[in-house]
Amino acid sequence: MNDANPSQKRSDVGVKAAAGTTIGLGSVLAIVLSWSAHKAIGWALIHGLLGWIYVVYYLIVRHDWTWF
């Protein structure tokens, strides 16, 4: 890395930080449940951000408990 170019350092830090970001199990589960219920990308993204909150909501309100 060239020490004379400070913008190069900042961009490397941003790339490393973005590469370390992961998606949690709650978010993935919320996206899958939302897609199966609504078939809409917008709702899936919103519910993915909510994560476990949407998963619990889905289990309590929207889930069909006939298998139980």
Q: What is the pTM of this model?
A: 0.62
pLDDT computed for residue 23 by the predictor? 83
* Percent of the chain clearing pLDDT 90 (strictly above): 51
**Tokens linked to 13:** 């830090």
Residues 6 or more apart from 65 whose CB is under 8 A from it?
none
Q: Which residues of 33-55 are buried (b: 16+ CB within 10 A; e: fewer)?
A: bbeeeeeeeeebeebbeebeebb
pLDDT tens profile 37-64? 999 999 999 999 999 999 999 988 887 7
CA distance 21 to 24: 10
pLDDT computed for residue 8 by the predictor? 55
CA distance 22 to 12: 18
